[in-house]
Amino acid sequence: MTDAFVGAEKRRDLAALMADLGVREADLEEKFIQGSGSGGQKINKTSSCVYLRHGPTGIEVKCQKTRYRELNRFLARRSMCDRIRDRLLGARSALRQEAERIRRQKRRRSRRQKQRMLECKRRQAEKKRGRSAVDPDAD
């Protein structure tokens, strides 16, 4: 990878991380493919999107964050290391936890839960209605 996009220190850190995780360059299958999304003619002509596959774990990463192939190569490797580390440590990534939280929020409530929620709202509304000022002309 060239120095133009990624500094030498960051490349050394990535190499050290890959060595710590046991990820070898020989285990990585790398392809350059055309990106997707907006960008028009430029994105349809260039293959700056990096597809990376780690053979032993089967983890796949696709990176198209920048228009530069070399920077995408670096980012794809870093993302690959993050995924492998999450798998090795058995910890769920923050992304997965966030996705699960959103899925739980979108899940429909059961009929019983909905009844309880509406009953609670009714009680709260009644309580607030009881706090309103008494109208002297109401007699």
Q: Residue holding tokens 């996009």? A: 5
Paired tokens of 21: 């995780």
Q: Judge if 28 and 48 occupy the same domain.
A: yes
Pairwise pLDDT comparison (133 vs 60), residue with the higher score: 60
Q: Judge if 58 and 117 occupy the same domain.
A: no
Task: Provide the domain limits for residue 103.
Answer: 95-128
Q: Judge if 85 and 101 occupy the same domain.
A: no
Pair 64, 48: CB distance under 8 Å: yes
Give the CATH number of the domain where residue 49 resides: 3.30.160.20
Q: Judge if 106 and 77 occupy the same domain.
A: no
Decide if 55 is inside a domain.
Answer: yes
Q: Does the structure show a pLDDT above 60 at 2?
A: no
Distance between CA atoms of 17 and 93, rounded to whole angstroms?
17
What's the confidence (pLDDT) of residue 125? 96
Q: Does the structure show a pLDDT above 90 at 120?
A: yes
Decide if 134 is inside a domain.
Answer: no
Q: Judge if 82 and 64 occupy the same domain.
A: yes
pLDDT band at 3 (very low <50, low <70, confident <90, very high): low
What's the confidence (pLDDT) of residue 36? 81
Q: Judge if 60 and 12 occupy the same domain.
A: yes
Q: Residue holding tokens 């109208």? A: 135
Distance between CA atoms of 121 and 107, rounded to whole angstroms?
20
Nearest CA to 72 out of 35, 106, 119, 104 is that of: 35
Mean pLDDT of 92-107: 83
Mean pLDDT of 63-77: 90
| Counted domains in the chain | 2
Nearest CA to 80 out of 60, 66, 94 is that of: 60
Decide if 139 is inside a domain.
Answer: no
Paired tokens of 85: 């580390």
3-state SS, residue 110: coil
**DSSP-assigned letter for residue 27:** G
pTM of the complete model:
0.60
What's the confidence (pLDDT) of residue 91? 58
What's the confidence (pLDDT) of residue 115? 96
